[in-house]
Amino acid sequence: AQSVTQLGSHVSVSEGALVLLRCNYSSSVPPYLFWYVQYPNQGLQLLLKYTSAATLVKGINGFEAEFKKSETSFHLTKPSAHMSDAAEYFCAVSPRDNYGQNFVFGPGTRLSVLP
Amino acid sequence: ETGVTQSPTHLIKTRGQQVTLRCSSQSGHNTVSWYQQALGQGPQFIFQYYREEENGRGNFPPRFSGLQFPNYSSELNVNALELDDSALYLCASSLYGTVQETQYFGPGTRLLVL
């Protein structure tokens, strides 16, 4: 069974500082991997996804993530945090052989950006 | 291009009642998935509908059921509501079998069971 862990339920950074949100997955076969962002009282918005092309994936709003098979990780980074980045971030996995039928989300990391 | 829409936005029910939530998928998408997001947690997969049939189900009891209509819109029905059913219910639409399209989420319906 797949699972996703996100280290740190709450991360605080200063505006302009590096953002690093951690995601590790457990799966017998490397899955498809996703990062979603959720702003207060809204649904989820796709930031980026890994589908076995380049291991470094660039997404919207300056975010990127790197797939590391040896570490079973898919950490999300952004070089310089902006106040508007404050939100909840979810890492998710989906199996390659039945995509979409069992999308598994991590518990989320709340990002706070301090002025 | 129309995004995913959900109705109602908020709903209050009492324990034991039944509720129906609605979702209109994004234009061009033929698959709808439903998720339950309890407060402070990540979304949990309830089930997926494709071609008007259930196409995968998470660890939810049979009192959670759904429908998909020919226009690809969908309903989530929950019978015999329990207090723990209080959550944000999200639907997501996609084009079946094409991960390139991935899943696009609606804004959710917030259900409170008293």
Q: What is the mean pLDDT of residues B28-34?
A: 89
Task: Dump pLDDT digits (tens) for A60-93.
Answer: 999 999 999 999 999 999 999 999 999 999 999 8
pLDDT of residue B72: 87
Q: Is the pLDDT of residue B1 over 70?
A: no
The helix/strand/coil state of A108 is: coil
Q: Hey, of A37, A103, A104, which one would you mutate to test binding to chain B, going by the most B CBs within 10 A of its CB?
A: A103
Task: Dump pLDDT digits (tens) for B72-104.
Answer: 899 999 999 999 999 999 999 988 766 655 788
Residues on chain B touching A101 (C-beta within 8 angstroms): 48, 55-56
Task: Dump pLDDT digits (tens) for A23-52.
Answer: 999 987 778 899 999 998 788 999 999 987
Pick from B44, B48, B108: CB nearest A101:
B48
Task: Work out the pLDDT band at B16, boundaries 50, 70, 90.
Answer: very high
pLDDT of residue B104: 87
Q: Is some CB atom of chain B closer than 8 A to the CB atom of A30?
A: no
According to the 3-state scheme, what is the secondary structure of chain B? CCCCEEECCEEEECCCCCEEEEEECCCCCCEEEEEEECCCCCCEEEEEEECCEEEEECCCCCCEEEEECCCCCEEEEECCCCHHHCEEEEEEEECCCCCCCCCEECCCEEEEEC
Residues on chain A touching B66 (C-beta within 8 angstroms): none
Q: Give strand pairing partners of A71.
A: none
Q: Is the pLDDT of residue A99 over 70?
A: no
Rounded to an integer, what distance in angstroms lies between the CA atom of residue B61 and that of residue B69? 22
Task: Work out the pLDDT band at B56, boundaries 50, 70, 90.
Answer: confident
- Number of helical H runs and strand E runs in chain A: 0, 12
Q: Which of A53-57, A92-96, B61-65 has the highest mean pLDDT?
A: B61-65
Backbone torsion region of residue B100, taken as left when φ is above 0, otherwise alpha when ψ lies between -120 and 50, otherwise beta: alpha
Task: Work out the pLDDT band at B69, boundaries 50, 70, 90.
Answer: very high
Q: Is the pLDDT of residue B10 over 60?
A: yes
Residues of B with CB under 8 A from a CB of A: 4, 31, 33, 35, 40-45, 48, 55-56, 58, 90, 92, 94, 96-97, 99-100, 102-108
Q: Is the pLDDT of residue B67 over 80?
A: yes
